[in-house]
Amino acid sequence: MDKLSFIDQKDFEKPIYINDMSGYNYFPTPWREISMHEFNHSWMWCIETRQIIDKEVIGTGCMLQVYIMYFHNEALAVSRPSKWHTGDDEFGVHGIIYEDKPRYFKIGCEHDYTHCNPHMFDHRYECKKCGHKYAVDSSG
């Protein structure tokens, strides 16, 4: 089972697909806001979590508390709701009603992979823009 670890950004080695880790209260670059659909689709194809960082970021229109999940091939971020009140929800259940929805972000290179196949079952991919590499053994 994967273990989640929370660390300081200064202790985290910059992944190859990030240009700049930026300041403490900023997203690493490049980044862009994405839809929930794109977030879910990206997450499906992310390779192995490396690190999860919990931080406050500015530069998105307002201060957001986000989890940034660093994978081997890209990073994804989701904001936590920050505004709420107590009341009855649409099912009549009394509790916390969130006023803001999560926002989703993709961080890192928009990869453009080349594929080579030096041996049977050995598929190697390398991004033309950032140099990120991965290999797939298709024999199994």
SS3 101: coil
CB 106 within 8 A of CB 31: yes
Number of residues that bind Zn ion (CB under 5 A): 6
Q: Tokens standing for 1?
A: 């089972």
Interface mask toward Zn ion for 111-140; x: CB under 5 A: x---------------x-xx-x--------
41 binds Zn ion (CB under 5 A): no
> Rounded to whole angstroms, how far apart are CA atoms 28 and 30?
6
Interface mask toward Zn ion for 68-107; x: CB under 5 A: ----------------------------------------
SS3 45: helix
- Residue nearer to Zn ion on the CB measure, 107 or 109: 109
> Rounded to whole angstroms, how far apart are CA atoms 18 and 28?
7
Which residues contact Zn ion by CB under 5 A?
109, 111, 127, 129-130, 132
